[in-house]
Amino acid sequence: MSDFGGESAEHEGEEPSLEAPIWPAFGDLMSCLFGLFVLFFVWAIAFQVDLTKALEVQTAKIAVETERADTLEKALAASLGGKMDGRITFVDGRLGIGGAVLFQLASADLQGQGAALLKELAPPLSDYLATHDEMIMVSGFTDDLPLLPSAARKDNWDLSASRAVTVVRALIEAGVPRDRIFAAGFGETHPIVPNANEETRAKNRRVEIATVPRRR
């Protein structure tokens, strides 16, 4: 009897279990996860809205550039009797004139046929500027062959810049406003085809005329 009673007393003296229920902790975890989900959802919506606005702006910009290029091309084609012959090209809003039409090799002196062509181009360019708040950028490009030590120009950068300036001056003399046109030289950089032989190098020797937004 004493043993049985002692065992009962021993069991009665044991401390209750300290393990806490897991459901409150689980509920807190789910609340945190739901909050994170809401944050990510809001961020995704905001990102999508910003992306949509950016695409709309880019689409509008492309539309304006396309309209500008089409308008200029039509004006130039009309001035040249509707023909964009082998002397010039018009690609992506840029008017390209072969270097052989304007200059002799390694020279920045304008040839007769080049001067005549620029006189034809000046009126439609001037008319375009009269109705568009833009400027004309004249860019000179060369092939990859270095100039001879006896050449009048220091290098291809110097030659391309001098040719661009020569074209700018000719267009100004033909009526293009001097405050709406500028020159830039790119040397042998930005070839339109690989400089593999004389034929491809001749294509890279060129002057490009393009319209750009006017800086205030």
pLDDT tens digits, residue range 86-123?
Answer: 678 888 888 999 999 999 999 999 999 999 999 999 99
Looking at 35-44, 163-172, 186-195, 200-209, which range is the least confident one? Answer: 35-44
d(CA 188, CA 195): 9
Measured on CA atoms in the order 23, 29, 35, 38, is the torsion positive or negative? negative
- Summarize the confidence of residues 12-25 as an average pLDDT: 57
Closest by CA to 173, choosing from 116, 215, 213, 133, is 116
- Summarize the confidence of residues 144-150 as an average pLDDT: 90
Query: Which comes out higher in pLDDT, residue 98 or 73?
Result: 98
For the chain, give the mean pLDDT: 83
Global pTM?
Answer: 0.70
The structure tokens listed for 70 are 């089409």
pLDDT score at 9: 47
d(CA 198, CA 181): 31
pLDDT score at 83: 53
Domains of the chain (ranges, CATH numbers): 58-213 (3.30.1330.60)
